[in-house]
Amino acid sequence: MIDVVINVTLLAFLAITAVAIVRMTDLFAIIMLFGIFSFLSAAMFIVMDAVDVAFTEAAVGAGISTVLMLTTIALTKDHKEKQSGSHRPWLPLTVVLVTGAALVYGTLDIPAFGDLQAPAQMHVAPYYVERSFTETGVPNIVTAVLASYRGFDTLGEVVVIFTAGIAVLLLIGGRRRRSNAVGKEGEENDA
């Protein structure tokens, strides 16, 4: 019962935040709302028992991407483009509606949530459910799959993310050397 209340309230907050993000023009406020959106969806993932997804959502969505977007604003400055008068939303709206209808049509064939006979539950899932704890000693099955059975795969993902992080740091840190150089010149002039 209380699960339903929490789910409905969190989903309503998500909808409010999404509409506010679309309607607002202040970029800083939009980034703050992005962070709130990430925390809300992470809480929803927790309610749905997808702990690892929730953890990734909180770390990437609320932590890193908020900071990265704020850094981008600091590097590029916040200025608005004037909206041209001939803004016609009908073509994009039609495309979005058709795509959404196709996706909803696609969900009609999907087995019910938690269905025992679903193909996803029939293939290797019973093996993991029965043996993952005795084989790996990890209580959470998803964590056991990610960190033990597919450990090398996860290692590769970590390498990719680490490389991307280094690239982003190089891009953001590029300004520091220039400002330091300017500062040094200023000091020399003072001396």
Partner 1 sequence: MLLENYLMFVAASLAFLVTLGLALARALMGPTVYDRIAAINMFGTKTVLLIAVLAFLSGRMDLLDIALVYALINFIGVVAVLKLVVYGDFHSSGKDITKPVKVDQR
Residues at the interface with partner 1 (CB under 8 A): 2-3, 5-6, 9-10, 13, 16-17, 20, 26, 28-29, 32-33, 35-36, 39-40, 42-43, 46-47, 49, 51, 54-55, 58-59, 62-63, 66-67, 70-71, 74, 139-140, 172-173, 175-176
Would you call 120 exposed, middle or buried from its count of C-beta atoms within 10 A (0-12, 13-18, 19+)? exposed
Taking the complex as a whole, the smallest distance from the CB of residue 46 to partner 1 amounts, in Å, to 5
**CA–CA dist 122, 129 (Å, integer):** 11
The SS3 of residue 173 is helix
Residue 11 near residue 45, CB atoms below 8 Å: no
- How many CB atoms within 10 Å of residue 133? 14
Smallest gap from residue 63 Cβ to partner 1 (A): 5
Which is nearer to partner 1, 27 or 118 (by Cβ)?
Answer: 27
CB-nearer residue toward partner 1: 75 or 97: 75
Q: By the 8 A CB rule, do 73 and 172 touch?
A: no
Give the nearest distance from C-beta 124 to partner 1 in angstroms: 23
Choose between 33 and 147: whose C-beta lies nearer to partner 1. Answer: 33
- For the chain, list the strands marked E by DSSP: none
Return the number of the residue (114 or 139) whose C-beta is nearest partner 1: 139
- The answer to whether 21 and 37 are in contact (CB under 8 A) is yes
Radius of gyration in angstroms for the set of CA atoms belonging to the chain, rounded to a whole number = 23
Nearer to partner 1, 93 or 158 (CB): 158
For residue 104, the minimal CB distance to partner 1 (Å) is 28
Min. distance of Cβ 67 from partner 1 in angstroms?
Answer: 5
